[in-house]
Amino acid sequence: MTVQSRPQEQALLKNQDNIFPDILENYKEICYNIENAKAKYRKSDDIVRLMAVTKTVAPEKINYAASLGATLLGENRVQEFLSKKDSYTKDAEVHFIGHLQTNKVKYIINDVSLIQSVDSIKLAKEIDRIFFW
């Protein structure tokens, strides 16, 4: 995994590197650790994806991390997700990872690619009812 950016974002990234140096350094270190762990414990062609959990993080910082390559985002609060979702870069893939109440499924079902925290039959049935009917 290498730190990559799209050509049209080069100038923006150069400026943001100065604004969010901690994110850039953390991302580089995490990628380095992932590559080392893959070399030691996985097959070379295994795919490992980094999920950036966005709890209480501003959309500008999230989008900067996504521009580096951390496009898989984990959200764990419905209200916070709803307040930030329109600010996310188009490249972002969002998974819901927090506890989800059945009455809140309708608010996120069309905006997340996966709900990882289905913890009851009742919740699964509600997701099925809203998504497939």
Q: What span, in angstroms and rounded, lies between the C-alpha atoms of 115 and 124?
A: 10
The predicted-structure confidence for 50-84, as pLDDT tens digits, reads as follows: 999 999 999 999 999 999 999 999 999 999 999 99
Whole-structure pTM value: 0.82
Whether 80 and 103 have beta carbons less than 8 Å apart is answered as no
**Where are the domains positioned within the chain?**
7-132
Query: What dotted CATH number matches 7-132?
Result: 3.20.20.10
The predicted-structure confidence for 89-103, as pLDDT tens digits, reads as follows: 999 999 999 999 999
Q: What span, in angstroms and rounded, lies between the C-alpha atoms of 110 and 82?
A: 12
